Amino acid sequence: MNESFDRTAGDFAGKTTGPNLSPYRHFTRDEWAQLRADTPLTLTIDDLKRLQSINDPISLEEVIAIYLPLSRLLALYVAATQGLFKATQRFLGADDGKVPYIIGVAGSVAVGKSTTARVLQALLSRWPNTPKVDLITTDGFLLPNAQLEHENLMDRKGFPESYDTNALLRFLSDVKAGRSHIEAPIYSHLTYDVVPNQTVSVDRPDILIVEGVNVLLPSRLPRDGKETPFISDFFDFSVYLDADEDQLEKWYVSRFMRLRSTAFRDPRSYFRKFADISDIEAEETARSIWKRINLRNLHDNILPTRARASLVLTKGSSHRIEEVALRKL
């Protein structure tokens, strides 16, 4: 996938791919790790155990090498944005209050977005100028299962058409406007559905992290020239987690098999029917779901947005990030 990433960057420039045409500056793992400087490690092993998702291992060494430099960079970006906002307020003679800095985290199913988002939240909340960092996932903005079934969209869950995009855009618009106590719906991975009448409140945080597979996807351009906002229009920074397709499938199947002995055994689980089938049947089922739904979504909607990210983190076979690509300013 690294080669295709370079081609995408070159094609985006509309010219033949070359080292000076990519909009990204590329770093090896060791080169990126050196950018940590003296940033202190503020997480413990116990913290990481609470933050990581099933089948998405992360070590303190990974935090030190990858996420501490990233948190340092983001702290600089946020401080600069806060300064620009204050200068703009003085220029306009306005007093609009605090505007949150919004970070999008995108990538395929099973690539480890949730762990990355939670680690970033924990690290960024420890910087003095950003003590309040909230995190939401776009899963809460999926249409309810009953509606997806009515519209024959259950096999396209996670595709752009399966979301209440207008509700998500209204939410982000209110957050960016600095409004207080904005409600976001909650999604249950146990019941595989939006939880009725339950929300989480976002109340003017310093930083809001928005995690989801399709958060970098642009809308169709309007033919009449009217304003059509994209979800990513509200982002100040975005991260795309990348990995080889074979590894993504392997991680998805492994997670599915582990869940059979844990969450799938809960009577409330949407996937309860898979808990008692044979290992062979379960693996075949997982691979079928991956190919029919998640791989198609990756090819059609997720991977094409990679070149729109501010930062691309490329994982190797053990979930270890091997390369970092930072968009040039």
Chain segment 198-218, per-residue pLDDT in tens: 999 999 999 999 999 999 988
| Mean per-residue pLDDT, 284-291 | 97
| pLDDT recorded at residue 245 | 97
What's the CA gap between 245 and 270, in Å, rounded? 26
| pLDDT recorded at residue 312 | 98
Interval 73-129: pLDDT, tens: 999 999 999 899 889 888 998 877 778 999 999 999 999 999 999 999 999 999 888
Q: Does a structural domain hold residue 9?
A: no
Q: Does a structural domain hold residue 192?
A: yes
pLDDT cut 90: percent of the chain above it: 73
| Mean per-residue pLDDT, 291-311 | 97
Q: Does a structural domain hold residue 157?
A: yes
Burial code (b: 16+ CB inside 10 Å, e: under 16) for 119-140 equals: bbbbbbbebeebeebbbbbbbb
What's the CA gap between 188 and 263, in Å, rounded? 12
Nearest to 299 by CA among 158, 193, 189, 162: 158
Q: Is the pLDDT score of 175 beyond 90?
A: yes
Which residue's structure tokens are 């990348």?
Answer: 242
Q: Does a structural domain hold residue 8?
A: no
> Residue 62 carries which side chain, given as an amino acid letter?
E
Residue range of the domain that includes 66: 24-327
| Mean per-residue pLDDT, 228-242 | 93
When pLDDT is cut at 50, 70 and 90, the band that residue 4 belongs to is very low
Binding site, annotated residues for ATP: 107-114
Q: Which residues contact residue 222 at a Cβ distance below 8 angstroms, ignoring those fewer than 6 apart? A: 228
Binding site, annotated residues: 107-114
| pLDDT recorded at residue 329 | 75
| pLDDT recorded at residue 154 | 96
Question: Is the distance from CB of 130 to CB of 206 less than 8 angstroms?
Answer: yes
Q: Is the pLDDT score of 293 beyond 90?
A: yes
Between residues 39 and 9, the one the model is more confident about: 39
DSSP at 52: P
What's the CA gap between 133 and 15, in Å, rounded? 40
| Mean per-residue pLDDT, 249-263 | 93
| Mean per-residue pLDDT, 299-307 | 96
Q: Does a structural domain hold residue 18?
A: no
Q: Does a structural domain hold residue 58?
A: yes
Q: Is the pLDDT score of 20 beyond 70?
A: no
Q: Is the pLDDT score of 306 beyond 60?
A: yes
| pLDDT recorded at residue 41 | 85
Q: Is the pLDDT score of 7 beyond 80?
A: no
Q: Does a structural domain hold residue 238?
A: yes
When pLDDT is cut at 50, 70 and 90, the band that residue 54 belongs to is low
Question: Is the distance from CB of 216 to CB of 232 less than 8 angstroms?
Answer: yes
Q: Does a structural domain hold residue 19?
A: no
Facing residues of 133 across strands? 207
Question: Into how many domains does the chain fold?
Answer: 1
Q: Kindly report the CATH number assigned to the domain that includes residue 87.
A: 3.40.50.300
Between residues 282 and 42, the one the model is more confident about: 282
| pLDDT recorded at residue 276 | 92
Between residues 183 and 127, the one the model is more confident about: 183
Q: Is the pTM of this model over 0.85?
A: yes
Question: Is the distance from CB of 323 to CB of 31 less than 8 angstroms?
Answer: no
Q: Is the pLDDT score of 168 beyond 90?
A: yes
C-alpha separations of 283 from 49, 173, 252 in Å: 27, 42, 10
Question: Is the distance from CB of 96 to CB of 204 less than 8 angstroms?
Answer: no
| Mean per-residue pLDDT, 18-29 | 84
| pLDDT recorded at residue 133 | 97
Q: What is the mean pLDDT of the chain?
A: 89
